[in-house]
Amino acid sequence: MTPAEKTRRSYERRPYPGDDLRALATKGGSLPSPKWMQAIGRPGCPEPRRILVAGCGTGPEAFQIQRHFPKAEIVAVDFSPRSIALAKRLQKAIGTPRPIEFRVADLTDPDLAAKTGGDFDLATCHGVLSYITEPARVLANLAGILAPRGTLYLGVNGEGHPSTRLRPWLASFGLKVGEMRDERRLRELLAVWDSLHDDGMTELSKLSASYLANDVCGPFINSLPLAQWRAAAGRCGLDLAGVWLLPMTLRLAMEGDKCRPLFPAGIGDLAERLDQVRPAGFHRLLFRRQGQGPSDIPGAGTRKGSLLWTGLYSARFKAARAKGKVTVVLKCPVFDLRLEASLSVGQADALRALVASGASPTGWMARWGRTEAARRLLWLWTGLGVVAGSV
């Protein structure tokens, strides 16, 4: 039996995230904020008309997306007939404002576009590609189903994922990691692992069998650094537009202006550099078709087009101690971040205009200023998700 066949059998036996309809009815999806997907993946675009949930499992993520985009037509697919049957039963039980179209489909199928209808403004694929032996085929298919200004959200394992070291460690005790059995010895060894990783994260020894069967003891697990996932997507014609962890890691590097040597790296290069220093356990990534929008930093002197206010932050202006200066306080509930910056009066007026209109008018950069300090602040704000370049 091939790893792909073992994976399919595993998901049929233990649908993810479970087969308890009552528990699933109250369970939220595990996707990051759809508001972030829209603001960074589709800046300046209307809300998506058509959305694909690729690898929907038993449905929680499709319902999460629908709560945020209730008017969108949503197609949700999974290669597990049992998972799709459970998702349909759950939809019937809880009711939805607009029926989600659940279908059985294999993401590696070259006819995926024809079977789903294609032309999707947003496609999400969360926690799927790391468990597929041919992720390049799926990436090519997902790139092919996007509308011209569509975006792909991808959730994949990073180099820092626990399975990277956990699987060989379990195997050293004689466990057949690729054929998980929910046995006492596995739980005991996971309890030892948890005791040595007391960092406030989820305790693996207490997780469900369906989670362990796929995220820890699956037939195939691919956990890669951001650079490799980005390169694979690039070969399929996709550019990296956003990284969920980037605002948090960049915020750490901002202390004492330690991030200065990284300027003016674009979003992709900047995120890669930080992932090399602090490997992520899980990547939440946004991709656009190559040539469909800038992925570099507004204000760095290499791009044209509008600068957009993402709406992820609120802005409050207050007088600064220094004469001729204004302090802006930026708060983001999505990332739980708070920032302060000292602006000239002219910059403060320019920022107020940007916040009010949502997009920079012609000549805005001249008002903001083209000094390195002015450009570097826009560079920081782009990495933090305060502003974005138009698609």
Question: Distance between terminal CA atoms of the chain?
Answer: 45
Is 300 a member of any domain?
Answer: no
Phi, psi of 76 (to 5 degrees): -125, 125
Co-location of 193 and 231 in the same domain: no
pLDDT at 212: 80
Please say which residue of 254, 289, 324 terminates a domain.
289
Phi, psi of 87 (to 5 degrees): -65, -40
pLDDT digits (tens, 9 = 90+) for 109-143: 999 999 999 999 999 999 999 988 889 999 999 99
Co-location of 153 and 171 in the same domain: no
pLDDT digits (tens, 9 = 90+) for 359-379: 988 889 889 998 999 999 999
Is 263 a member of any domain?
Answer: no
Please say whether the beta carbons of 167 and 131 come within 8 A: no
Co-location of 143 and 167 in the same domain: no
Is 235 a member of any domain?
Answer: yes
What confidence category does residue 301 fall into, taking pLDDT thresholds of 50, 70 and 90? very low
Is 10 a member of any domain?
Answer: yes
Co-location of 31 and 133 in the same domain: yes
**Number of domains comprising the chain:** 3
Kindly report the three-state secondary structure assignment for every residue of 252-292.
HHHHHHCCHHHCCCCHHHHHHHHHHHCCCCEEEEEEEECCC
Is 294 a member of any domain?
Answer: no
Co-location of 45 and 145 in the same domain: yes
Co-location of 328 and 182 in the same domain: no
Q: How large a percentage of the chain has pLDDT more than 70?
A: 91
Domain that holds residue 370: 307-389
DSSP 145: T
Is 377 a member of any domain?
Answer: yes
Please say whether the beta carbons of 298 and 375 come within 8 A: no
pLDDT digits (tens, 9 = 90+) for 57-102: 999 999 999 999 999 999 999 999 999 999 999 999 888 878 999 9
Is 11 a member of any domain?
Answer: yes
Q: How large a percentage of the chain has pLDDT more than 90?
A: 64
Co-location of 64 and 137 in the same domain: yes
pLDDT at 298: 54
pLDDT at 285: 98
Closest CA to 132 of 232, 226, 5, 273: 5
Co-location of 235 and 354 in the same domain: no
Co-location of 68 and 8 in the same domain: yes
Mean pLDDT of 219-236: 93
Co-location of 13 and 152 in the same domain: yes
Co-location of 15 and 137 in the same domain: yes
Co-location of 152 and 167 in the same domain: no
pLDDT at 296: 56
Cα 380–Cα 382–Cα 386 angle in degrees, nearest 5: 100
Which tokens go with 281?
A: 């356990």
Asked, as a colleague might, if the bond just before 294 is cis with ω within 30 of 0, I would say: no
Please say which residue of 262, 289, 316 terminates a domain.
289
Mean pLDDT of 151-160: 96
CATH of the domain at 146: 3.40.50.150
Is 118 a member of any domain?
Answer: yes
